[in-house]
Amino acid sequence: MAARLSLVACCLLGLIAATIAQIGLQCPPAEASIRDTVFQNFLKDPTSPAGLLRLHFHDCFVEGCDASVMLESTPTDGTDVERFADGNDNSVRGFEIIDEAKTRIEAVCPGAVSCADIIAVAARDSSVILGGLFYQVPTGRYDGRVSNRTLANERLASPFENIDQLKRKFANVGLSTQDLVLLSGGHTIGRTKCRFFENRLYNFTGGLPDPRLNAEYAAALRRICTPQGADPSPTVALDRNSEFSFDNAYFRNLVANNGVLNSDHVLVESSETSGLVRFLAQDPNLFKVLFAESMINMGNAAWKTRANGEIRRKCSAVNTRLTTEVGHIAAV
């Protein structure tokens, strides 16, 4: 079995390596600028990589990976944009780090690198900083001009959902059940507010805590997440005792019923996914290789092209457009 796994790992690495030659940002210094920006921000705030990894996920799930999550307003949506959707408002973060990288890149290569590509590369660098595997990010995305709050509410996964609902949301963007399990492994880093899981601690069934949650862990979580709640909501690590290490501890925690969110726990509960969870819990290297592959899959979601997108000058706003005399639209 071990030999088979290393063969799979080796072939996947080959696949990832094979894509290296085909890609690269349209501005050679850009990748280094992104890497440095992510690193400098990590030194100031070691939780920032987690925010950037999640930003890419939330970007790709609505309108594809097109930086629609960063827009503050658009001509068609007004201020009813994705960043104010339930799953994003006061939750998704890292905008200012992407803005910082964008400013650095625009200074050397104006109009060459989309915000969507910067988010994708920054997400990769964020996992690498904490111990994830380096993989080459396919690039060439254009930024979208649409950002819709209602659509984001429909498309983003909720921590209260069951396995079928989660599978459907991943399938919506062309991702498989295996991708769902692997990408949920992003919860090997970062934190969650109590409000996203406290229903499991107090009044889950008949006034009792969720019996599927390790009782000793539930007691520890109740000490942090008090029944009366608090504003701002306290936070706990998504990966018990391992929040700054990009490793397979998340899967080991799932197997021990230490998954915090309901959407984490269902992965070990469902007969369709529990085999893979247990496999990943045993093999840290396999998790890293397969996670990289699933990140590439996620990053492929519905790219915009020159025809329906643009390279934004500023990530928070679409470019202003003028109709020229010959009837073409020109960005100004």
The binding site for Ca(2+) consists of 59, 62, 64, 66, 68, 82, 188, 239, 247
- The amino acid at 173: V
Q: In angstroms, what is the minimal distance from the CB of 108 to ligand HEM?
A: 29
Evaluate whether 102 touches 27 at the Cβ level (below 8 Å): no
Interacting positions 8-47 with ligand HEM (CB under 6 A): 47
- Under rule CB under 6 A, residue 54 binds ligand HEM: yes
Distance of alpha carbon 220 from alpha carbon 79, whole angstroms: 40
- Under rule CB under 6 A, residue 314 binds ligand HEM: no
Treating both helix axes as pointing N-terminal to C-terminal, what angle do 95-108 and 48-60 enclose, rounded to 10 degrees?
80
Piece in contact with ligand HEM (CB under 6 A), picked from 1-9, 52-60, 146-154, 275-283: 52-60
Site mask, ligand HEM, residues 141-160, x = CB under 6 A? Answer: ----------------xxx-
For the chain, the farthest-separated pair of C-alpha atoms sits apart, in whole angstroms, at: 71
Piece in contact with ligand HEM (CB under 6 A), picked from 19-27, 66-74, 181-189, 220-228: 181-189
What SS3 class is residue 100? helix
- Under rule CB under 6 A, residue 196 binds ligand HEM: yes
* Dihedral of the alpha carbons of 152, 155, 158, 163, in degrees to the nearest 10: 180
Instruction: State how far the alpha carbon of 197 is from the alpha carbons of 53, 129, 161, 191, in Å.
Output: 21, 28, 11, 12
- Under rule CB under 6 A, residue 263 binds ligand HEM: yes
Evaluate whether 279 touches 248 at the Cβ level (below 8 Å): no
Output the known binding site: 59, 62, 64, 66, 68, 82, 187-188, 239, 247
Evaluate whether 132 touches 87 at the Cβ level (below 8 Å): no
Distance of alpha carbon 250 from alpha carbon 34, whole angstroms: 27
Distance of alpha carbon 90 from alpha carbon 118, whole angstroms: 22
* Shorter beta-carbon distance to ligand HEM: residue 235 or 319: 235
Q: Which residues are catalytic?
A: 58
Evaluate whether 177 touches 170 at the Cβ level (below 8 Å): yes
* Shorter beta-carbon distance to ligand HEM: residue 157 or 280: 157
Q: In angstroms, what is the minimal distance from the CB of 16 to ligand HEM?
A: 17
DSSP state letter for 302: T
- Which of 70, 85, 183, 311: binder of ligand HEM (CB under 6 A)? 183
What token pair was written down for 277?
A: 């969870």
- Under rule CB under 6 A, residue 319 binds ligand HEM: no
- Which of 191, 212, 313, 321: binder of ligand HEM (CB under 6 A)? 191
Per the document, the length of the chain is: 332
Q: Which residues contact 237 (CB under 8 A, 6 or more apart)?
A: 190, 191, 243, 260
Site mask, ligand HEM, residues 94-133, x = CB under 6 A? Answer: ----------------------------------------
* Shorter beta-carbon distance to ligand HEM: residue 144 or 186: 186
Q: In angstroms, what is the minimal distance from the CB of 14 to ligand HEM?
A: 23
| Residues found near ligand HEM in the complex (CB under 6 A) | 47, 50-51, 53-54, 57, 91, 93, 157-159, 166, 183-184, 186-187, 189-193, 196, 238, 261, 263
